[in-house]
Structure 1
Amino acid sequence: MMVIEKIWTTDTAIWIRTAEGREAYEDFSNYPPLKFATPEERNNFEADEFGIHWKDLDEDLSFEGFFKEKQSNFLYMLFMNYPELNASAIARRMGMKQSLLAAYISGAKKPSPKRQQEIISTIREIGKELQQIEWKYSI
Structure 2
Amino acid sequence: MLHIEKIWLTDDAIWIRTADGREAAERFVDYPRLARATADERARYLADGAGIHWPELDEDLCYEGFFTPKTHSPLYDFFMAHPELDASAVARRMKMPQSLLAQYLSGARQLSEQGFEEIVRTVRSIGRELVEV
Q: Same fold (TM over 0.5)?
A: yes
Q: Is the 8 A contact 1:17 1:23 kept in 2?
A: yes
Aligned counterparts, 1:86-125, within 5 A: 86-125=86-125
Q: Which amino acid aligns with 1:28?
A: F
Aligned counterparts, 1:1-139, within 5 A: 1-133=1-133
Q: Is the 8 A contact 1:60 1:99 kept in 2?
A: yes
State the shift of 1:53 in Å: 1.2
Unpaired runs of at least 5, structure 1: 134-139
Q: Across the two proteins, how many residue pairs are aligned to each other?
A: 133
> What is aligned with 1:137?
none
62-71 or 96-105, which moves further after superposition?
62-71
With structure 2 as the length reference, what TM-score do the two structures score? 0.95
Counterpart of 1:57 in 2: which secondary structure?
A: coil
State the shift of 1:48 in Å: 2.0
Q: Which amino acid aligns with 1:114?
A: Q
Bigger Rg, which one: 1
Q: Is the 8 A contact 1:76 1:106 kept in 2?
A: yes
Q: Which amino acid aligns with 2:88?
A: S
Q: Which amino acid aligns with 2:86?
A: N
**% same residue:** 58
Q: Which amino acid aligns with 1:56?
A: E
For residues 68-96 of structure 1, what are the alpha-carbon distances to aligned partners after superposition, in whole Å with 9 as ceiling and x for unaligned? 11111111111111111112111111111
For 2:108 and 2:99, the matched residues in 1 are separated by: 11
Counterpart of 1:61 in 2: which secondary structure?
A: strand
For 1:87 and 1:3, the matched residues in 2 are separated by: 28
Moved over 2 A (4+): none
